[in-house]
Structure 1
Amino acid sequence: MKLSKVVAASAAVLALTATATACGSDDKDDSGSSGGGKIKVGIKYDQPGLGLKQPDGSFAGFDVDVATYVAKELGYKPSQIEFVETKSADRENALARGDVKFIAATYSITDERKQKVDFAGPYLLAHQDLLVKADSNISKGTDLNGKKLCSVTGSTSAENVKNTIAPKANLRKYSGYSECIAGLQSGAVDAVTTDDSILAGFAAQDKYKGQFKLAGLKLSNENYGVGIKKGDAALEKKINAALTKMVSDKAWDAAVKKNFGTSYKNEPAPKVGVIVK
């Protein structure tokens, strides 16, 4: 009788251990190969060439390609990736809340942001620039004096231009860059300013091909990184390894060509861990 009780107790312990182990496997989300789980990744939904949700519900852009490659190296198939819209103002909170595992969304690495999140990368070096019509004679910042310059509400790009090189530029602020681009096409504005990668993505769209050009001013350095939750050193190491591999196997070059078109004279792939000031 006593032996039966011991055996029963041992069986119960083993059952509880197996249950706990199984639960632990279900909760683990940093290796897709462990059981067909999903990974949530933050991207932009409204930036052609970088992160764009298309009419059929699929996603396209350089950030999307980077995120997909990184997820693959973490053990996830494309079908296991759930892309989540992370607007600029909510990126830090999305990571802190655990809404997403990582973010690839034109996320420039800055000292201020590094107080709240960690970054892998950088994976792209962009610059603030101007987009103008293909036949425009605007070739330097001072040419904007007296001209209409567009950027989005809440962005500091237009103010940077006005405060540093074109104090007499007339600022126009719209709610989104697509409105600025439409304004440039119609002649309502003379130039649009933000990161050159974003501008190139819009210019490469079929409906705009051949209509615009980048001025090539390089008004700032924007080191795009993959945002991760503060303190997750293991994930940062894995993503850095994935980004390094993406460059070495030429997948990075292919993604640049596919998403930005010929109008974008991109910088070479940045070295992981090296921030260009």
Structure 2
Amino acid sequence: MLRMAARTGVATWVLAAAANALASAPVLDKLRQGGALVIAHRESSTPFSYLDADKKPVGYAVDVCLKLAEAVKKELGLKAMPVTFKMATPANRIAMIESHEADLECGSTTNNAERRQKVAFTVPHYITGSRFLVRADSGVEELPQFEGKKLVSTKGTTPLKAVQQANRERLLRINVLEAPDHAKAVEMVEKGEADGFVMDDVLLYGLIASRPDPSKLKVVGKPLTIEPLAIMLPKDDPAFKHIVDEEMKRMVRSREAHALYEKWFEKPIPPKGTSLNLPMNYLLRDFWKYPTDQVPF
């Protein structure tokens, strides 16, 4: 009898959890009632999400999010669905999604266990590693060579946390600085206010390409971390996440995602028409063979 009661209790709990999951659809309910899908974008995360010469949000992640928005519209059977953009920063992006100020965060955000406590992520659209941007005449090549020097990173990012931890554990005596955004961090290196900038290497290459004289900067070092970058969305709307996940998988399998990758990483991009010349790395290529939102970090 006790065993049967226990089984009944477990079954009741599972059914209740499933019912609650189905009932919780704040994003989809808003859209069905005519509300806008809000896309959070970044200011200077080239080529993922940044502003072009007309201050319009553009980039690889922005294009991905617009395709996701179209899939949601189609799935809900809506004739029209407004889409609006809202600026996000590394410091407030998670709170914007958690509080439903935005429905999708389309930038260069790492999917990790700590963040998954507050928000959800879909299939990664890029996998990168954090390295160092330095001036072209710098002799620094690896993290230990920053000992006694100034190393900047962007507030609220995983590379910042990683370098702070490495600095403590290895007693490197690096003066770790925080910048409000990527553009300011690059400027600090250019002006000599910092000896290096630690960030996802793909972002560093994009930032270099956007500078007035790219030849004055370079990317060095072995990866300090491995970063799976993914679109962020609310944790409390599993039906919305299911639509987004299925569309991401479809885009990867149909190779639409590959075409978007080529557009932003291998061809000239705004505002200067410069190409990053970054073919897809083996990390992303292998991950996309079996696309999933599950990452081992």
TM range (shorter): 0.7 to 0.9
Q: How does 1:155-170 map to 2 (within 5 A)?
A: 155-164=160-169, 167-170=172-175
Note the alpha carbon deviations across 1:56-95, whole angstroms, 9 max, x for none: 2311222222212322333489x94311123334334333
- 2:251 corresponds to: 246
Shift of 1:239: 1.6
Question: Does the CA contact (< 8 Å) of 2:91 and 2:155 recur in 1?
Answer: no
Say whether 1:150 aligns with 2:152: yes
- 2:190 corresponds to: 185
- 2:277 corresponds to: 262
One-letter amino acid matched to 2:141: S
Shift of 1:202: 0.9
Shift of 1:170: 3.4
Q: TM-score, normalised by structure 2?
A: 0.70
Distance 1:218 1:46 in 2: 22
- 1:128 corresponds to: 130
Say whether 1:39 aligns with 2:37: yes
Distance 1:264 1:180 in 2: 26
Distance 1:153 1:103 in 2: 17
Distance 1:71 1:230 in 2: 17
Q: Which runs of 5+ in 2 are unaligned?
A: 1-27, 270-274
Percent identity for Structure 1 against Structure 2: 21
One-letter amino acid matched to 1:191: G
Distance 2:98 2:148 in 1: 44
Q: How does 1:45-64 map to 2 (within 5 A)?
A: 45-64=43-62
Distance 2:143 2:50 in 1: 29
Structure label with greater radius of gyration: 1
One-letter amino acid matched to 2:261: D
Distance 2:89 2:181 in 1: 12
One-letter amino acid matched to 2:228: N
- 1:273 corresponds to: 293
Distance 2:231 2:97 in 1: 11
Distance 2:167 2:51 in 1: 33
After TM superposition, the structure 1 stretch with the greater mean CA deviation from structure 2, 229-238 or 258-267, is: 258-267
- 2:16 corresponds to: none
Q: How does 1:36-115 map to 2 (within 5 A)?
A: 38-75=36-73, 80-115=82-117
Distance 2:150 2:278 in 1: 23
Q: How does 1:189-208 map to 2 (within 5 A)?
A: 189-208=194-213
Shift of 1:197: 2.9
SS at match of 2:65: helix
Note the alpha carbon deviations across 1:24-75, whole angstroms, 9 max, x for none: xx97527xxx98x742111222333222233523112222222123223334
One-letter amino acid matched to 2:68: V
- 2:3 corresponds to: none
Question: Does the CA contact (< 8 Å) of 1:134 and 1:213 recur in 2?
Answer: yes
Question: Does the CA contact (< 8 Å) of 2:97 and 2:119 recur in 1?
Answer: yes
Q: Which runs of 5+ in 1 are unaligned?
A: 1-25
Distance 2:37 2:68 in 1: 11
Question: Does the CA contact (< 8 Å) of 1:213 and 1:263 recur in 2?
Answer: no
Shift of 1:263: 6.4
SS at match of 1:106: coil
Question: Does the CA contact (< 8 Å) of 1:118 and 1:229 recur in 2?
Answer: yes
Shift of 1:131: 0.8
Q: Cα RMSD (Å) of the superposition?
A: 3.3
Distance 1:104 1:42 in 2: 6
SS at match of 1:193: strand
Aligned residues: 248
Specify whether residues 185 and 92 from structure 1 end up closer, same or farther in structure 2 by C-alpha distance, changes over 3 A only: closer
Distance 1:163 1:85 in 2: 33
One-letter amino acid matched to 1:261: L
Question: Does the CA contact (< 8 Å) of 1:128 and 1:194 recur in 2?
Answer: yes
SS at match of 1:69: helix
Note the alpha carbon deviations across 1:78-135, whole angstroms, 9 max, x for none: x943111233343343334332222223222222222222221122212221112234
Specify whether residues 86 and 183 from structure 1 end up closer, same or farther in structure 2 by C-alpha distance, changes over 3 A only: closer
